[in-house]
A and B are shown apart, each in its own frame.
Chain A
Amino acid sequence: MSIHTRTHIRYSKVDIAYSWLFLLPVIIILFIAALIPLLSGLYLSFHEYKLNMPSIPMRFVGLGNYVELFKDELFLQSLRNNTIFAFMSVSIEMVLGVLFAMLLSEDNKLSRGMITIVLIPMVIAPVAAGTLWRMMLDRTYGVINYLLSFIGISPISWLGDPAVAIYTIVAVDIWQFTPYVTILVLSSIKAIPRSFFESARVDGSSSWTLFRRIILPLSSPVIIVVMMLRFIDAFKVFDTIFVMTQGGPGNATEMLPTYIYQQGIKFFRVGYSSAIAVLFVITMSLVSWGYNKLRALELRRLD
């Protein structure tokens, strides 16, 4: 965050006091809701403690929780599921998002109307979207299987079949978050000066060349950031899973956040679930560090 520093004509002690006072509520909330929980999470991750048995004292186990993680089949599976989910949904969302951004880049009433509609999936509560899709994807009464029956596809158990469920979740995520990619890429396309296109047209290049040679490279810094944010968000998926599959059938759609929830809130294994959470934050920091490097590289190349 860059805030440019202002030169002040004069200032008093009162103003300095006010400056700090203005920050105070934010600092207090930060302490209660972010810093203390994060630090206590770190602390708890080195301990064994069960929230439902407060009479048993907290026991220091060092890295025990972390060691256990890598022997925990279920953890490894949710890590695997989550990685598959993230790569699939993000890559498809990026392709579709860029495609729709291009298709909606026209500046007229119809495009603007469609943009309003495109925004809808991303503003509705993920819980509501999950509920809605669960209703539509019901094996017996759902409308999707009914519509598919017209083209001769026999009923699919979208959420009940372990081999299918994760792809269903991917599809719902694509439905909900492709618009996010579209909107951001669209605004970066609109920021490209029109004269670039006109001169390219005079040179007789086709619109496909225009897309590949001008639009894609100039939007790439935005595309990289959006990809990073979507990738991180894909690892935060919780609401949709919770209402659609609860991690099932079996453990076919168990993801890291739902697993943390299961261990920490359902089984009260506070220390163990905190260890997963800590590992999570470290990994995501590395991921975003990597993306930022990539983006810096892109930006340098564009200059």
Chain B
Amino acid sequence: MARNLKKENSSYLSNFLSAPVKIFFLVCMMASILFPLYWLLSNSVKLEQEYFAKPPIIFPTKITGINYIELFTRYDALRPLVNSILIASITTVFSVVFGSLAAYSLVNGYLPGKIRKMFGGWFLIQKMYPAIVVAVPVFYVFSKLRLLDNIFSLIIMNTSFNLPLVIILLVGFYTEAPYELEEQGMLEGCNLFQRYFFITTPMVKAGLIATGMLTFIASWNEFLYGVILSVNKAKPLTVTIAGFITDMGLRWGPMAAMGCLIIIPVLVLMWLMQRDFISGVSAGALKE
């Protein structure tokens, strides 16, 4: 009985424009999201005469893996793939390790209050300026340092752009971790590093994983620094797929295959960690 009431209540809310209108909008929304994805996936397994047909062929008559094979044999996608994996994973490790050290120190360390305020300010400022604003000076500085076309420069830039969010999320996790254990550690003579490493950080493992996922997705998808700082050997996948459009005419099959290569890992991650993703995104937007 109580359960029925609850159910009725919740649909009462979503029916605020009447039930048929609701169904109409939801169907439209689902179709507009799913159809493009279907189109990408199906083009990636179509033969050339089918992805280049007029009128377009909605259901491929023959499914082929040729586009994926061509990606690696003809378009040298292996190197960008390795670059993307390296950039995203090293950025993730850097951001989580450095971010957790900093967040721990901001919460449990012995720092003047001014420092904490400064980090908060940085977080706000960074939301406001787009990557392109620093991109030109960064390009200038890295070209002077002869670090262009080196994945290390991409890792540094990605890390710097992810750190504010990582720190603000982890500060939340460290603040919520039980402080009694910290105190116990202090009484037993553990120094700050030991308390960080052995006591408190193991308790915020969930937070480390969640922020790591967000960082991985953001740096996997990153494009601007890729296009500015890489010429050839440091190109990530996102830059390579953009090159498909500008350099090679309309080779849709391999292009769609590469699109799938970029999208699928992120979708799998998101599907596995949806809840962390949503709470991370909300905290990033609404915390200050």
Question: B-contacting residues of A (Cβ < 8 Å)?
Answer: 1-6, 8-12, 14-16, 18-20, 22-23, 25-26, 29-30, 32-34, 36-38, 40-41, 44, 51, 99-100, 102-108, 111, 114-121, 123-128, 131-136, 138, 140-143, 146, 149, 175, 180, 183-184, 187, 189, 194, 197-198, 201, 207-208, 210-211, 215, 222, 225-226, 229, 232, 235-236, 238-239, 242-243, 246, 257, 260-261, 264-265, 270, 273-274, 277-278, 280-281, 284-285, 288
Contacts and interface: CB of A to CB of B under 8 A. Distances in A.
5 A-B pairs with the lowest CB-CB distances in the bound complex, closest first: A1-B120, A19-B109, A33-B160, A236-B130, A264-B136
Contacts of A107: 10
Contacts of B130: 235-236, 238, 257, 280
Given A99-B25, A125-B263, A285-B128, A119 B270 contact: yes
B81 interface: no
Interface in B242-262: 242, 244-246, 250, 252, 255-256, 259, 262
Interface string B129-162: 1111111111111010000000000001101110
Given A124-B221, A236-B132, A1 B39 contact: no
6 contacts: A19-B110, A22-B102, A25-B101, A41-B136, A127-B221, A280-B129
Contacts of A11: 110
B61 interface: no
B129 A281 contact: yes
A111 B112 CA distance: 47
B174 to A, nearest CB: 9
Contact of A19 (B39, B111, B255): B111
Contact of A260 (B16, B55, B133, B138): B133
B259 A132 contact: yes
Contacts of A273: 136
A125 B133 contact: no
A141 B141 contact: no
Contact of A277 (B15, B116, B133): B133
Nearest to A226: B285
Q: Is the interface of B mostly helix, strand, loop or mixed?
A: helix
Nearest to A116: B274
B156 to A, nearest CB: 6
Contacts of B230: none
Query: Contact residue range for chain B?
Result: 35 or more
Contacts, number: 332
B127 interface: yes
Contacts of B1: none
A14 B10 contact: no
Nearest to B161: A33
Interface string B106-134: 11111101011101101111111111111
B110 A15 contact: yes
Interface stretch (B68-76, B163-171, B202-210): B163-171
A141 B54 contact: yes
Nearest to B266: A123
Interface string B1-23: 00000110111111111000010
Interface string B185-199: 011000111001000
A215 B13 CA distance: 10
B132 A125 contact: no
B137 A127 contact: no
Contacts of B115: 23
Contacts of A225: 285-286
A29 B98 contact: yes
Given A1-B120, A123-B277, A135-B39, A143 B56 contact: yes
B262 A14 contact: no
A100 B52 CA distance: 35
